[in-house]
Amino acid sequence: MSRILIIAEHDGETLSAATAKTLTGARDMGIDDIDVAVFAVDPSGVAEQAAKLEGVTRVLTIGHADFEHFLAARLAPEIKALAGDPGSGSGAGYSHILMPSTTYGKDVLPRAAALIGVNQVSDIQEVIDERTFKRPIYASNAVVTVKVADDQPVVATIRTASFAAAGEGGSAEIESRESQAEDPGHTRFVSVEGGEGEGPDLATASVVVSGGRAMGSSEGFDIIYSLAKKLNAAVGASRAAVDAGYVPNELQVGQTGKIIAPELYFAIGISGAIQHLTGIKDAGTIVAINKDPEAPIFEVADLGLVGDLFELVPELEGKL
């Protein structure tokens, strides 16, 4: 019997959009029985949001003081216990265990997969059927179709940039479960420093304005922030701009940064290295502004403008 368990991502108060996108990936598998597990200190608020999502059968809440921070060593045995034995036939086991391929899902789920004793399918970008998936390899320069053997559970992360968020309209029942694992005591949260909390979230924004090395300095980035504000867009950056210290690293878009799929993406002063293009391949419309007409970014841009960005960007902002 096929049953899906999704491990919710949240900040203690709000269910992440990544979870709603993972749900869409799950629904594409054609399996009707989809549970969402919420691990939290107090899961009630997040559970209510999950219960409203269209297509959720049950929301399982696991409340424990340990879940203030998501530590993989604490959560992985918990997920294994909740996932149950897929071969038991008792209905207690899940055939599919899913998380979004955010840094949280990437950290936690492979640890759970190893405890379960299976390999993970990382970063599903398209669902063919309940055991067959497409995923990107070689920095998205190739796509492989993989099939998971019938005799093992599908443990997989879902590439959030490839799926729309599931809508509301559901009314799943909420069931509380006991924590089944213990704190191994060897891993402790210390602190987290967030970036600037202004404007929309880079991972989910419908418009993103990114700057590259050609911005020249962190002051040079001011025109990027200004244009983004005008467009109610999130700000992104290439690795070169991050490495040069112009912007904090959580703004990095690309293979080693965030993979995003906004409706509209502005690549400004970005040459378009393959590692950067990996991060934006699924964007709706790509606009490139660059002084080098030979820059590889123009090969993927839907609209390209060649010229001095320090003149063109303020002019563009003025005409919006």
Which of 255, 261, 272, 276 touches other proteins by CB under 8 A? 255
Per CB under 8 A, which of residues 138..197 are in contact with other proteins?
138-149, 152, 184, 186-195
- Residue 294 within binding range of other proteins, rule CB under 8 A: no
Specify the long-range contacts of residues 88-93, CB closer than 8 Å, at least 24 apart: 89/1, 91/1, 91/3, 93/3, 93/153
Per CB under 8 A, which of residues 67..126 are in contact with other proteins?
71-73, 76, 102-104, 106-115, 117-123
Tell me how far CA of residue 222 lies from CA of 218, 262, 276, 314, in angstroms.
Answer: 7, 21, 21, 10
Instruction: Give me Rg for the CA atoms of the chain.
Output: 21
Judged by beta carbon, residue 22 or residue 255, the one nearer other proteins is 255
Question: Rounded to the nearest whole angstrom, what is the least distance from the CB of residue 133 to other proteins in the complex?
Answer: 9
Q: Please, what is the end-to-end C-alpha distance for the chain in angstroms?
A: 54
Question: Rounded to the nearest whole angstrom, what is the least distance from the CB of residue 80 to other proteins in the complex?
Answer: 9
Q: Which stretch binds other proteins (CB under 8 A): 90-98, 174-182, 219-227, 300-308?
A: 300-308
Which of 41, 92, 164, 274 touches other proteins by CB under 8 A? 274
- Among 166, 140, 104, 134, which residue's Cα sits nearest to residue 282? 140
Judged by beta carbon, residue 61 or residue 255, the one nearer other proteins is 255
The sign of the torsion formed by the CA atoms of 85, 86, 88, 91 equals positive
Q: Which stretch binds other proteins (CB under 8 A): 32-40, 52-60, 208-216, 283-291?
A: 283-291
- Residue 316 within binding range of other proteins, rule CB under 8 A: yes
Q: Which stretch binds other proteins (CB under 8 A): 44-52, 86-94, 216-224, 292-300?
A: 292-300
Per CB under 8 A, which of residues 11..70 are in contact with other proteins?
none
Which of 203, 224, 267, 270 touches other proteins by CB under 8 A? 203
Are the beta carbons of 187 and 73 closer than 8 angstroms?
Answer: yes
Question: Rounded to the nearest whole angstrom, what is the least distance from the CB of residue 188 to other proteins in the complex?
Answer: 5
Buried b (16+ CB within 10 A) or exposed e, 252-271: bbbbebbbbbbebbbbbbbb
How many residues bind other proteins (CB under 8 A)? The answer is: 85
By CB neighbour count within 10 A (0-12 exposed, 13-18 middle, 19+ buried), where does 50 fall? buried
Judged by beta carbon, residue 56 or residue 297, the one nearer other proteins is 297
Sequence-separated (6 or more) residues with CB below 8 Å from residue 213: 238, 240, 241, 244, 269, 270, 271
- Residue 263 within binding range of other proteins, rule CB under 8 A: yes
- Residue 301 within binding range of other proteins, rule CB under 8 A: yes
